[in-house]
Amino acid sequence: MSIASQLPVLPIIMPIMAAPVTLLLPKGRAPHLWACLFTWLTFAACIALFREVDMSGPISYHLGDWAPPIGIEYRIDLANALVLLLVSGIAALVMPFAYRSVQLEVDERQTPLFYGAMLICMTGLLGVTITGDAFNVFVFLEISSLSTYALIAMGARRDRRALTAAFNYLVMGTIGATFFVIGLGLLYQATGTLNMADLSKQLIGQDNRMVQAGFAFILVGMGLKLAMFPMHLWLPNAYTYAPSAVTAFIAATATKVAVYVIIRFFFSVFNFDFAFIGAAFTYVLLPLGLLGMFGASFVALFQEDVKRMLAYSSVAQIGYMLLGLSFATVEGLTASLVHIFNHALMKGALFMAVACVVLRAGSHSIHAFAGLSKRMPVTTWAFIISGLSLIGVPLTVGFISKWYLLNAAFAAGHWYAGFLIVASSLIALAYVGRVAEVMLLREPAEEGKYAMAKEEAPLSMLIPMWILVLANIYFGVRTDLTGDIATRAAEALMMAAGGAP
């Protein structure tokens, strides 16, 4: 009974046990340091897990030593080890980053609650990723969602619209989660099991109405959670009015985890023997992905608020991920996984840069960015580099994502999708370029609402932000790291789904 054999459960146990303790700590620095400590420990555990999976293959951990399919199983293969690493890594960077930003944006009495909720949110996201039990996914999903509602509402100190945004998200999120549960109920009725591996075995040959209905409920439910194009309406407000550190964290992780759940259910629970999977790919995910890419990018062009612009851009980027997996090939799935990872790096860095501006200028309107290069050059360049990454300029991770995606599109015979990907990148160039122009070429406001002193953001914010920016470049040059792992993960998933390799 060594600690190493219990490793898979540590990323869940540690933060959830640590979260309530933050409430007992005195207000001020203590809850923050405590939360930092535990996110770093969790990150370390996830690195150890990833190394083990990378070396010796998938890990199966039986909670309470109850063997699956009766007990709950944690099952970690390369695909979710990558997502675990991503979620815990972003949390480990956002947590130290959050301190100054939270000091400004969140009521001081709420800070212990804030850090507690952040830890619980991270636990939920990690739990969704790590578990091999379908109902467990729902429970962890709601753990993360409930804490996210609370975190978004904490932005009410600066703007009361955070409250209505959180409320709308709560209604939409709960409908999504309940749809997911209905889907699980139908699958349970058809199979009598909830373990994912067991479900996929029991579902073989069961192409009946009940399974189809279950699939549809799961797709719509998760579609609401991941802000699939026509169901994204909760997202822009929630991201805009949440405290900046929260936006940086959830924009980089929450929707990615939901995309991961879709991938897990499509490839590991259902498989290509079901005709409706192919239909869902061709008639739902592909068109909605394309529509999301264009519709949301186009709306992003006209936003006066940089945070809201980036939120719409997130919806568009989710379109890329859905597009990748809708090709139902190893290349497409690889592109999706790579983009899940890379998009988290770029959006994390971008929202962190916005948080720095909010700290100094007190606003995330585009007017606050005027002449920023003269006042906060370090932040400006962080924004521009990660913006270039968002567009997909070579030597950044964005280029790698687009490259894989284009390859997959042409290999799958969807050449028009390839052109549309490039076209939507041009829209991204327009909306990032607009902010860059304002930052670099405009004169800073001397007086009035947006006037501010020439002062760079504190180091506690600059360092995590620049780590993410450098990661954007590093993983853009060392493509073998993410590309190789994503390819292996995609091959394993495709093999399980019985598709053509």
Partner 1 sequence: MDWFDFILARYNYWIFILLMMIGLYIVFARGNLVKKIVGLNIFQTSVFIYYISIGKIFGGTAPIYMGDELDAASHHEPESGHGADAGAHGGETAHAAAEGAQSKIDNSALDHGDDLKETLHSKIDNNALDHGNDLKEALKSAPVSDEGASLHDLPDAGEKIANTLSHTDKTPPAPAPGIEFSPDGLHGAAGDAAHSAAEAAHGAMEAIVYTNPLPHVLILTAIVVGVATTAVGLALAVRIREAYGTIEEDELEAADDIAEFGHQAGVRAQQAAGSAA
Question: Is residue 153 a contact residue for partner 1 (CB under 8 A)?
Answer: yes
- Taking the least distance from each CB to partner 1, the nearer of 201 and 478 is 201
Q: According to the binding rule CB under 8 A, does residue 29 interact with partner 1?
A: no
For the bound state, the minimum distance from the C-beta of residue 166 to partner 1, rounded and expressed in Å, comes to 6
SS3 48: helix
Q: Which of 149, 267, 351, 369 binds partner 1 (CB under 8 A)?
A: 149
| Sole binder of partner 1 in the list 13, 23, 37, 67 (CB under 8 A) | 67
Residues 177-196 that bind partner 1 (CB under 8 A): 177-178, 181-182, 185, 188-195
- Given the complex with partner 1, which of 51 and 161 has the nearer CB atom? 161
Give me the half-sphere count of Cα atoms (radius 13 Å) on the Cβ side of residue 216.
9
Q: How far apart are CA 202 and CA 197, in angstroms?
A: 9
Calpha distance 258→261 (Å, rounded) = 5
Q: Which two tokens stand for residue 464?
A: 């995590």
Query: Please, what sign has the CA dihedral across residues 287, 288, 291, 297?
Result: negative
Least distance between partner 1 and beta carbon 365 (Å):
11
Number of residues that bind partner 1 (CB under 8 A): 40
Q: Which of 167, 272, 381, 474 binds partner 1 (CB under 8 A)?
A: 167
Cβ–Cβ < 8 Å for 348, 90: yes
Q: What's the closest the beta carbon of residue 376 comes to partner 1, in angstroms?
A: 26
The yes or no reply on residue 140 touching partner 1 (CB under 8 A) is no
Q: Is 459 in the site for partner 1 (CB under 8 A)?
A: no
Q: Does 131 sit near partner 1 (CB under 8 A)?
A: no
Residue ranges in 68-87 that form contacts with partner 1 under rule CB under 8 A: 68-70
CA distances from 426 to 294, 419, 423, 430 (A): 10, 11, 5, 6
- Which residues lie closer than 8 Å to 77 by C-beta, 6 or more apart? 53, 57, 58, 489, 492
Tokens read off for 53:
């999976």
Nearer of residues 192 and 230 to partner 1, judged by Cβ = 192
Closer to partner 1 at the Cβ: 299 or 338? 299
Give 146 or 388: the residue with its C-beta nearer to partner 1: 146
Could you say whether residue 449 binds partner 1 (CB under 8 A)? no
Check binding of 247 to partner 1 (CB under 8 A). Answer: no
Q: Which of 80, 123, 131, 202 binds partner 1 (CB under 8 A)?
A: 202
Nearer to partner 1, 191 or 314 (CB): 191
Residue 397: strand, helix, or coil? helix
Residue 307: closest CA among 395, 222, 240: 240
Q: Whole-angstrom Cα distance, residue 212 to residue 374?
A: 58
Entry field: residues in the chain: 501
Binding status of residue 261 toward partner 1 by CB under 8 A: no
Residue 133 binds to partner 1 (criterion: CB under 8 A): no
User: Which residue from 164, 441, 454, 495 is in contact with partner 1, where contact means CB under 8 A?
Assistant: 164
For residues 39 and 98, the answer to whether their CB atoms sit within 8 Å is no
Cβ proximity to partner 1: between 174 and 407 the closer is: 174
Phi, psi of 305 (to 5 degrees): -110, 125
Its sign, for the CA torsion 401, 402, 404, 408, is positive
Residue 8: DSSP 8-state: G
Q: Is 320 in contact with 260 (CB distance < 8 Å)?
A: no
Enclosing H/E stretch for 153: helix 134-153
Nearest CA to 256 out of 129, 130, 138, 352 is that of 129
Among 49, 72, 94, 142, binds partner 1 (CB under 8 A): 142
Q: Which is nearer to partner 1, 130 or 322 (CB)?
A: 130
Q: Output 34 or 274, the one with its CB closest to partner 1.
A: 274
Among 46, 126, 197, 344, binds partner 1 (CB under 8 A): 197
Closest CA to 317 of 352, 356, 344, 287: 344
Q: Taking CB under 8 A as the rule, does residue 57 contact partner 1?
A: no
**Chain-centre distance for alpha carbon 105:** 23
> In the complex, what is the shortest distance from the CB of residue 199 to partner 1, in angstroms, rounded to a whole number?
9
Of positions 51, 160, 454, 478, contacts partner 1 by CB under 8 A: 160
Q: Which is nearer to partner 1, 34 or 234 (CB)?
A: 234
* Contact assessment for residue 214 and residue 225, using Cβ atoms and an 8 Å cutoff: no
- Is residue 451 part of the contact set for partner 1 (CB under 8 A)? no
- Under the criterion CB under 8 A, does residue 150 sit at the interface with partner 1? yes
Tell me which residue of 401, 396, 394, 392 sits closest to 423, measured CA to CA: 392
Interface residue list for partner 1 (CB under 8 A): 67-70, 135, 138-139, 142, 146, 149-150, 153, 156, 160-161, 163-164, 166-167, 170-171, 174-175, 177-178, 181-182, 185, 188-195, 197-198, 201-202
